[in-house]
Structure 1
Amino acid sequence: MDFDLRAVLSELKRRRVYRVAVVYAAVAFVIWQAAEIAFPALGFPDWALTLVVVLTLIGFPVALVLAWAFDITPQGVRRPPASGGEEGELPASRPLRLLIAGAVILVVALAALWVWARRPLPERELSANRVAIFPFAVHGDEELMYLREGMAHLLGGALDGAGDLRTVDPHALLGAVRERTVLDPSDAQEVAARFGAGLYVLGSIVGSTEDLGVNASLYNSTRGERAVVEAVEGRETEIQSLVDDLARRLVVDLLGASADRLVRTAAITTQSVPALKAYLAGHSALYGGDLSGAAEAFQRALELDSSFVLARYQLAVSTAWEGYGELARRTAARAAEDSTRLPPRERRLLVGLDAFLRGDLDAAEDAYRTFLGEYPDDVEANYMLGESIFHLAPIHGQSMQRSRAAFERVLSVDLDNLFALHHLAVLAVKRGELAAADTLLDRALASGRAPWFAVSIRVLKALASGDPDLRVQAQHELQTVETLGLYSAIMVGTSFYQDPVESRWINEALTAEHRPTQARAAGYAMRAYLDAASGRWLQAERSLNEADRLYGIGPSHRADLTLLPFAPYDPSALEDRLREVEAWDVSSLSPSEFAMLLPPVEVQPAIRLYLLGALNARLGRDSAALAYAERLESVKWHVGGNLSATLTPGIRAAVYAAHGEVEEALRLLEDAPFEGHYDEIYASPVVSMAAERYLMAELLLAAGRGRDALSWYESLGALQRHEIAYVAPAHFRRAQIYEALGEVSEALNHYERFAELWKDCDPELQPFVEEAEQRMAELRLNSR
């Protein structure tokens, strides 16, 4: 049988299916609109409106089927004529009964829904970060009435996403209060609580289109507090700027109790709400350990508001922690130029940051301590004081333990500060307080932040606890962690735990085949220093050959290892190193891709000049050494700092020391500033001035000032990963000093540590180990 479309359409029309579809759609739309208005006012839950929509959609095809199956006539409901037959008649009473029954069921269902919805709801947990923006009361021109709900939408959009703030859906909230022309604080609190909002805003608009004022009050249900924002004024055409101004002031009040004053100041010192949002996102990322995410957010804030000085300050901090020192110093310098836009208190923080990034410990410590004299609980100043001492004190022959008090003050205010917890754990490990370190590390891991940082924390925890399962877990994570996390883990093993054997399994992850070429080169160079730290110079040579194959840094590290104390090299080997460094073409080096793993190429020419001067001084070629010192002194350094001011006296002091002129050599080093850029210190043992610090200790010892020398020996290995090669010789010297001072227990500890570190050393170094063992035997015998 052929399908006749025209006949089907005619039949649909005859049976009034079209008419039913149109009428049903119109009625359904009216029901939806009525429900959207009435349900919130009746206190129905949000899903009630969804249920009505779903039921009406389900009913649509049912209505069409019924319209096809039955005809409604003045004589009642009839079946349509059957093919070739008579029309059938349904009893009129039956459809009527069905209709009445359906109506009753619908009324009962709606009544039950109303009763259920009005039941006492279980207490919903209020969020201190969720804010409800209620319609603003409008007093004035009728033309401004659109702002009653419009202000709630605009202000909600401005506040949503400002840090951890999240606003209640304005459509749902407005639906709940649309019929209420007046809303008092208690009513608003009840409605806000229904949406889980612990914060809510009530406000008013007064005036005309040409002169209007906006007031707002912020209520905190969880603390029972209210803050009133003073009126912002302007014209109707300036409404968006008024909203932004109001939003910033509200953020200031919301953050009023925050421990971090910088966030509050940021809200005051930018006129751009989008820039403020980006700043808050960056701040959250920075102190959560997401350094690259923080830098991106602060950069975005500056793109939105180029005068946003605090965003520039935080960009300098985040890029410095990532190791991009050049960018950090430029950014900090620009922030200092624009610092007049900041309140005097925050302006002084820039002075401390600038000194820290230049490596000037005295200036940084003075700036922060002066600041803290007035504001002792300031988190930022306390943290940066701790950071400055922790990372720069060893350069000055001082203990990084001096930073402990500053980090503890940070935790007294900010209990979960990830970086303060980590630094305090490191300090506890270095004091031998492993249980305390374990507790601090557990607290840091519990934050669940910064996956890359968590890996280094687990490495430290594995080393401190000796837990083999934790070590296996850490080894597995090291294979995939980003380079910054791997660098941090290597620092844990070398500088913080100072164990060349344990550090090897950490460093292996850096030399893995899947790592980038430069990172692998840095890994092989590091392996050479771990070999030297165990007294295995022959193996160190092989490791450097692998590094050289990947990236041309071999000459500098070979020369540096040759100059190490106790290094088994004769003059002919020194000559070989000198020729290699002379031939080293630093201009051919590609830019360093990994901050703090490899020195910036801009620093390499100065490193080369220094090594040439130091090698000539060791060979006794005084005039050549002093000539290289003079050339190094004339090097123009990039932004901030002058490393030549320390490295040049180092070469000259080595020349005088070789001739036994101890006092003059000592004078030269004592007058040297011992400053180096934060990031470059960690990339190169030359820039960390390890050789100068060891020479300072040796000169103090030669001058009969052994106790003064102890702190300089102790500083070696505490600061930079390559310095682990100095640890064993420094232990040997400290043992000798303590023995001379009659402190037997300390002498034994250091002799034992030296012998343990060099137990597998090259044969030509065995006499040192034998001497240490002999001294231990005699000390034990004499102390009975």
Structure 2
Amino acid sequence: MWDLAVREGDYARADSLIRRLSRTPFSGRALDAFARGDSTARARILDEAKLADRAAALPDAAEFIAVYLEDFARAEQFLHLALAPRQKPSLRASAHQLLGTIQMSQGRWSAATAAYDSAEGLGAPDVGREGRAWVATLPFLAVPRRQVEAALADVARWAPSAAAQDRGLRLSGTLRPGLRLYLLGLLSSRLGADADALRHATELERADVPPVARAVTRAWAQTVRADVAWRRHRPADALAALQGVRGEIPLELDPAIDPGHASTVTIEQRLYSEEHARYLRAEVLHELGRDEEARHWLETAFQNTPSELTYLAPYHLGLAQIYQRMGERAKAADHYSRFIELWKDCDPELRPIVADAKARLTTVTGESPRTVPHGGPP
């Protein structure tokens, strides 16, 4: 209920709900101060953020402000406090991971991978490898081929089974060999090595995992198959493969944002959460002319998921294209404008996508694109 109130801009109700907790978390108070535009409250929160006993709450505050207000500059201000040398390495590692996600939301995959490497350097195991591979598999990015090849080679050298028993989460550790196959499958698909990708999908289906995790490896396998079909311009085959992805994620692997405990989601947990498959489903439905279904998927598939920020810009671009084809010009213009604002400083490889969005915006409005203020959550 709190999440819904914030997304609807009903901050009075959100504040009322969060005050029911025995102690109102710093992240909730920070979000409220910046959402209301109260300069006095903002100054007070920023002063409080510098206190030593607030350090652990800084990433949560940053994530709330980024997710709910799309105010990335302010979110990074909190993260830079968490990255100060005086902070614990574990906190700095978490802050680097969240900073990488915020960079991804702005189309800056190169800065994101650098942040993930920094997190690994502070003791977060495998984050650099997983982050580089995850970024290279994202279906809406134009990652240079050499970077994809490097990520594939790195994952191929990885032998996660040896370290599985050392993981705090038993199920997570058991699934790490399968996670390796999933990444290999998606990276192979990205490189056009279809036979390798499909072989990894078959290996995933045969993986020896506990019964509670079989739906996870099955979903990974079907996502790889769908990715291969989608990249080969076979949307009907991709959609058929995606029927096997049903959101059956064990609770242990399914982190959720709640007031006060938002920012500890790892790259590994993002790979369990099926956003890649959800994005593909919306794309292939749109390609098949089933725009109403595609719109529904986009509007419901990413809210309160581990990678909500990562998919924010493609969410807006996808809805813009759907509304344009439906003839709803005002809605199309709004989403094109928000996409352009999010990716205005993206990596060079992504600039053609932004240029196309600007051209489409001109088509639906008859005017040149302009910078728009953050409009809040979708």
Say which SS state the counterpart of residue 356 (structure 2) adopts.
Answer: helix
Matched ranges for 1:67-106 at <5 A: none
Matched ranges for 1:530-569 at <5 A: 530-550=102-122, 551=124, 552-569=126-143
Matched ranges for 1:262-341 at <5 A: none
TM-score, structure 1 as length reference:
0.41
Letter matched to residue 357 of structure 2: A
1:505 aligns with 2:95: no
The answer for the alignment partner of 2:246 in structure 1 is: 673
- What's the offset of the Cα at 1:583? 1.8
CA distance in 1, matches of 2:88, 2:172: 17
The answer for the alignment partner of 2:180 in structure 1 is: 608
1:570 to 1:705, Cα distance in 2 relative to 1, 3 A: same
The answer for the alignment partner of 1:429 in structure 2 is: 6
The answer for the alignment partner of 1:694 in structure 2 is: 279
Matched ranges for 1:705-724 at <5 A: 705-715=290-300, 717-724=302-309
| Alpha-carbon displacement from aligned partner over 1:247-268 (angstroms, at most 9, x marks no partner) | xxxxxxxxxxxxxxxxxxxxxx
Letter matched to residue 244 of structure 2: D
CA distance in 1, matches of 2:172, 2:244: 27
Letter matched to residue 634 of structure 1: R
1:446 to 1:644, Cα distance in 2 relative to 1, 3 A: closer
1:572 aligns with 2:143: no
Of 454, 463, 470, the residue aligned with 2:34 is 463
CA distance in 2, matches of 1:509, 1:712: 37
Letter matched to residue 315 of structure 2: A
CA distance in 1, matches of 2:348, 2:362: 21
Conservation of the 8 A alpha-carbon contact between 1:735 and 1:749: yes
Conservation of the 8 A alpha-carbon contact between 1:490 and 1:507: yes
Conservation of the 8 A alpha-carbon contact between 2:320 and 2:333: yes
The answer for the alignment partner of 2:236 in structure 1 is: 663
CA distance in 2, matches of 1:778, 1:672: 36
1:639 to 1:461, Cα distance in 2 relative to 1, 3 A: farther
The answer for the alignment partner of 1:120 in structure 2 is: none
Conservation of the 8 A alpha-carbon contact between 1:646 and 1:672: yes
Say which SS state the counterpart of residue 760 (structure 1) adopts.
Answer: coil
- What's the offset of the Cα at 1:442? 3.3
Conservation of the 8 A alpha-carbon contact between 1:656 and 1:665: yes
CA distance in 2, matches of 1:605, 1:508: 34
Letter matched to residue 773 of structure 1: K
The answer for the alignment partner of 2:359 in structure 1 is: 774
Conservation of the 8 A alpha-carbon contact between 1:716 and 1:724: no
- What's the offset of the Cα at 1:649? 0.6
1:438 aligns with 2:23: no
Matched ranges for 1:9-20 at <5 A: none
Letter matched to residue 77 of structure 2: W
Conservation of the 8 A alpha-carbon contact between 2:96 and 2:115: yes
| Alpha-carbon displacement from aligned partner over 1:182-221 (angstroms, at most 9, x marks no partner) | xxxxxxxxxxxxxxxxxxxxxxxxxxxxxxxxxxxxxxxx
1:583 to 1:500, Cα distance in 2 relative to 1, 3 A: farther
Conservation of the 8 A alpha-carbon contact between 2:275 and 2:301: yes
Of 184, 194, 198, the residue aligned with 1:622 is 194
CA distance in 1, matches of 2:189, 2:348: 27
Letter matched to residue 699 of structure 1: V
CA distance in 1, matches of 2:191, 2:230: 13
1:650 aligns with 2:227: no
TM-score, structure 2 as length reference:
0.82
- What's the offset of the Cα at 1:633? 2.0
CA distance in 2, matches of 1:512, 1:675: 39
Letter matched to residue 7 of structure 2: K
Aligned-residue Cα RMSD (Å) equals 2.8
Conservation of the 8 A alpha-carbon contact between 1:606 and 1:632: yes
1:481 to 1:650, Cα distance in 2 relative to 1, 3 A: same
Say which SS state the counterpart of residue 746 (structure 1) adopts.
Answer: helix
Letter matched to residue 666 of structure 1: L
- What's the offset of the Cα at 1:646? 1.3
| Alpha-carbon displacement from aligned partner over 1:325-382 (angstroms, at most 9, x marks no partner) | xxxxxxxxxxxxxxxxxxxxxxxxxxxxxxxxxxxxxxxxxxxxxxxxxxxxxxxxxx
Conservation of the 8 A alpha-carbon contact between 2:33 and 2:41: yes
CA distance in 2, matches of 1:645, 1:632: 7
Q: Which runs of 5+ in 2 are unaligned?
A: 256-264, 368-378
The answer for the alignment partner of 1:174 in structure 2 is: none
Matched ranges for 1:382-461 at <5 A: 423-424=1-2, 426-431=3-8, 434=9, 437-444=10-17, 446-447=19-20, 449-451=22-24, 454-461=25-32
CA distance in 1, matches of 2:43, 2:71: 18
- What's the offset of the Cα at 1:529? 1.9
| Alpha-carbon displacement from aligned partner over 1:59-80 (angstroms, at most 9, x marks no partner) | xxxxxxxxxxxxxxxxxxxxxx
Letter matched to residue 428 of structure 1: A
1:748 to 1:439, Cα distance in 2 relative to 1, 3 A: same
Letter matched to residue 450 of structure 1: R
Conservation of the 8 A alpha-carbon contact between 1:495 and 1:717: no
Letter matched to residue 670 of structure 1: Q
Say which SS state the counterpart of residue 270 (structure 2) adopts.
Answer: coil
1:492 to 1:759, Cα distance in 2 relative to 1, 3 A: same
1:469 to 1:721, Cα distance in 2 relative to 1, 3 A: farther
Say which SS state the counterpart of residue 671 (structure 1) adopts.
Answer: coil
CA distance in 1, matches of 2:226, 2:251: 24
Conservation of the 8 A alpha-carbon contact between 2:320 and 2:336: yes
- What's the offset of the Cα at 1:619? 1.3
The answer for the alignment partner of 2:44 in structure 1 is: 473
1:691 to 1:731, Cα distance in 2 relative to 1, 3 A: same
The answer for the alignment partner of 1:755 in structure 2 is: 340
1:748 to 1:578, Cα distance in 2 relative to 1, 3 A: same
- What's the offset of the Cα at 1:736? 0.9
Conservation of the 8 A alpha-carbon contact between 2:142 and 2:350: yes
1:661 to 1:770, Cα distance in 2 relative to 1, 3 A: closer
CA distance in 1, matches of 2:204, 2:46: 42
Say which SS state the counterpart of residue 142 (structure 2) adopts.
Answer: coil
CA distance in 2, matches of 1:516, 1:528: 19
1:679 to 1:481, Cα distance in 2 relative to 1, 3 A: farther
Q: Which has the higher contact order (CA 8 A, sep 6+)?
A: 2
- What's the offset of the Cα at 1:559? 1.0
Which structure carries more strand by proportion?
Answer: 1
Conservation of the 8 A alpha-carbon contact between 1:564 and 1:691: yes
1:729 to 1:649, Cα distance in 2 relative to 1, 3 A: same
The answer for the alignment partner of 1:634 in structure 2 is: 206
Conservation of the 8 A alpha-carbon contact between 2:55 and 2:82: no
1:632 to 1:495, Cα distance in 2 relative to 1, 3 A: farther
The answer for the alignment partner of 1:373 in structure 2 is: none
Say which SS state the counterpart of residue 578 (structure 1) adopts.
Answer: helix
CA distance in 2, matches of 1:506, 1:528: 14
CA distance in 1, matches of 2:28, 2:222: 38
Q: Tell me which structure has the larger Cα radius of gyration.
A: 1
Matched ranges for 1:44-443 at <5 A: 423-424=1-2, 426-431=3-8, 434=9, 437-443=10-16
CA distance in 2, matches of 1:755, 1:668: 32
Task: Indicate the percent of aligned positions where both proteins have the same amino acid.
Answer: 29
Say which SS state the counterpart of residue 545 (structure 1) adopts.
Answer: helix
CA distance in 1, matches of 2:225, 2:190: 11
1:747 to 1:736, Cα distance in 2 relative to 1, 3 A: same
Say which SS state the counterpart of residue 710 (structure 1) adopts.
Answer: helix
1:527 aligns with 2:99: yes
Conservation of the 8 A alpha-carbon contact between 1:526 and 1:722: no
- What's the offset of the Cα at 1:696? 0.8
